[in-house]
Structure 1
Amino acid sequence: MQAAQRGRPDLHWNENTMKALTFKRYGKSPEIGFADIPRPTLKPDELLVEVHAAGLNPIDNMIPTGMFKPVLKLQLPATMGSDLAGVVIDVGSRVTRFKKGDAVFASLFDLGTGSLAEFAVVPERAAALKPENLDFVQAASVPMVGLTSWQALRERAKVQKGQKVFIPAGAGGIGTFAIQLAKHFGAKVGTTTSTGNVQLVSSLGADEVIDYKKQQFEKLLRGYDVVLGTLRGDEIEKSIDILRPGGKIVSLTGPLDAAFAKARGLNFVLKFVFGLMSRKIMRLAAKRDVSYSFLFVRPDGAQLSEIGALLRSAHIRPVIDRVFPFAQAKEALEYLAQGRAKGKVVVQLK
């Protein structure tokens, strides 16, 4: 883990405001930068958390482009970031599972708020107690990749012992976690990575490792039950060839499908558009008797508690590439966007 020098943006203490990294508009010039914004107020079912660390995810860079504007409802300027770990400093009147002083971690994704701020409100249903054996940086690296892996592999794909699961980009944030979770579920795991990361993904439990700089996975792998779609473009289409009949593709990167639009209660036009976007992959999947679906992760404190138990017992370990101070949160997002991180990138606030 490489740690950058600690530092913070200029903080002028005011009990009514806080520092946050925000973006002001969608598009090519979102104006990402620090701003003083009102400190959040609590609803009865929420926790007020002093953020100690915030984990970054690729979608944090995608949201300001407007790519998910039809789906995610944000009020501009919007605070960036989704994952956090911190300490509860106040609780709403209906909160029963947490108290002041509790160390927690959570994903705020799709909740209309962000984590790259001094304080954050977290719905009780989204929070879980931080595993005692993890520090705040390690805990903040987990929520989105942990929940995404859990919801894709356990809920959607229903991975069983002895099945074969393909998780491309094994050295990335999702990959490093999903490989370990699939192995915990008893699966055999195939992955792709570059030459320099073969040892890393093997140490996490990958059974078949394809060096994508030398080999093409679709020509070497066969008989897989599940593909976790972590890459964009035609990689998803290529993965159809490695699945057995009845296999499943669960994509995290798209194309979005009509079932997703329906589940979100989106209008007819968006259902039609997403249906068009996924038409080719659906047709190719049907030819091979495999299924395709797009997964949009949801915050879930109960699932995060189960993931926390695995982390506590060291069945799964966080993999962290770099830690940036809060003052360099924008640079941290730029570093993540380069796509070369081994594991997670985390911003440390305290």
Structure 2
Amino acid sequence: MASCAGGSLNKSIRFVDCMGLGPDVILNRQQAERSSRTDFTDESRPNSMVARQTGVPNDSQMKAAVYRQYGGPEQIRVERVARPIPGEGEVLIRVAGSGFNVVDTLLRAGHMSGSFPQTFPFIPNIELSGTVEALGTGVTKWQLGAQVYTSMTLTDSGGAAEFAIARAEELAAVPRSIDLADAGGVPLCALTAWQLLFEHGSLERGQRVLIVGASGSVGYYAVQLSRIADAYVVATASPSFVEAVYGLGADEVLDYSKPNWTAESKAPFDLIVNASPAQPEQVNSWLRLLRQGGTLVSAWSPVDEAEARRLHVNGKLVYMHNSTQQLTDIARWIEDGVLRTKIDERAGLEQVAELHARSDAGKLRGKVLIVPAGLD
């Protein structure tokens, strides 16, 4: 990361292709490592030493939202499946909360199967929080009962279940100032915002940053993190969210519904962060709002890097990767009260298919948390 990294990056699940490793190379290695436990419904596996050591029998069951092929929301079913068993370097987590994200719908529909193929049956939701329930061999950092959170890879079966497997090295302690379940809705969007701003955008104190889509879940954290970095923050939002974005610390908020909002943006900017599902032609037009040598980073649409070079600026599409150091720093800022979190809706496992349908129809707003134990 740039000036705000606070530590080294976890390289084991890097998705960003700027390192010269194609996603297919990374995924082939990951799938080979995980093939012994990906098929969580295989109850024919012999009893493992891990199960005997931790008191988790192989025939234990759990409830999970599952789909067995790519397709629409109707593919998702709530089933009783075999509880997974942690392998070497892994932990079993009793899931308290798991964030729902648009990427979950893209994965389910098969739109990302070329770069991030899934092994079926598959459990959605790649971010989660919970309690360490069992330890695989070689795990020394965590103890049973530890409260942790993480964001997993796009090929991992995830958190829409009562239990989930994660690598011990990819976990961080949850912020102690918020509800354990709510912490499950933090990692993906907070990490994405951090990496857009600092790791790829190299944001520094006093620079001017434009955040497009500030009222969304990634933009919500991007505005706050920019203020923590003492940048001058210009953000865009729809009219109903302008005041809320000011409340996050933005210096200026532009009405995104106005066709000429870019003319009011007081360019140029050192950094532009696209946290909106804007079309590529829109995103590429914003390259002209950058100062020479400035950077546009996008969490959604690709950027025309050839056009960026012609304009003597930088542009890139960024995939989030996990970083325990960044999650630890995020937790500390939440505990200190300088970084706010937000959960707009809670749902049980039985509502996962409905959430996918609402998202596909463009009728889902805000951050939704899945609570596997059910709602009170």
Shift of the alpha carbon at 1:30?
6.6
3-state SS of paired residue (1:70):
coil
CA contact (8 A) 1:30 1:65 kept: no
- Aligned equivalent of 2:206: 162
CA contact (8 A) 2:78 2:349 kept: no
- Aligned equivalent of 2:270: 225
Question: Of residues 86, 94, 98 in structure 2, which corresponds to 1:42?
Answer: 86
Question: Of residues 277, 282, 292 in structure 2, which corresponds to 1:245?
Answer: 292
- Aligned equivalent of 2:55: none
What residue ranges of structure 1 are gaps of 5+ in the alignment?
1-13, 256-277
Matches within 5 A, 1:1-350: 16-28=60-72, 31-221=75-265, 222-230=267-275, 231-233=277-279, 234-255=281-302, 281-337=304-360, 339=362, 343-350=366-373
Shift of the alpha carbon at 1:74?
1.6
1-structure distance, mates of 2:238, 2:89: 45
**Which amino acid in the other structure matches residue 77 of structure 2?**
G
3-state SS of paired residue (2:75):
coil
2-structure distance, mates of 1:63, 1:110: 8
Kindly report the root-mean-square deviation, in angstroms, between the aligned alpha carbons of the 2 structures.
1.9
Instruction: Check 1:346–1:336 CA distance in 2 against 1; reply closer, same or farther (3 A cut).
Output: farther
**Aligned residue pairs, count:** 313
CA contact (8 A) 2:70 2:108 kept: yes
Shift of the alpha carbon at 1:37?
2.4
**Which amino acid in the other structure matches residue 154 of structure 2?**
D
**Which amino acid in the other structure matches residue 320 of structure 1?**
I
Shift of the alpha carbon at 1:29?
7.0
Shift of the alpha carbon at 1:172?
0.8
1-structure distance, mates of 2:329, 2:227: 16
Per-residue CA deviation, residues 6-36 of structure 1 (Å, 9 max, x unaligned), is xxxxxxxx95222211222224577122223
CA contact (8 A) 1:27 1:65 kept: yes
Higher strand share: 1
Identify which of structures 1 and 2 has the higher relative contact order when contacts are C-alpha pairs closer than 8 Å and 6+ apart. Answer: 1
3-state SS of paired residue (2:300):
coil
3-state SS of paired residue (1:329):
helix
Question: What is the TM-score when the length of structure 2 is the normalising length?
Answer: 0.78
CA contact (8 A) 1:322 1:344 kept: yes
CA contact (8 A) 1:55 1:84 kept: yes
Shift of the alpha carbon at 1:211?
1.1
What residue ranges of structure 2 are gaps of 5+ in the alignment?
1-57
CA contact (8 A) 2:235 2:254 kept: yes
Per-residue CA deviation, residues 45-96 of structure 1 (Å, 9 max, x unaligned), is 1111000111111101111221211111320121111111111111122112
1-structure distance, mates of 2:169, 2:362: 32
Per-residue CA deviation, residues 177-219 of structure 1 (Å, 9 max, x unaligned), is 1111111111111221111111111100111211122353322
CA contact (8 A) 2:130 2:181 kept: no
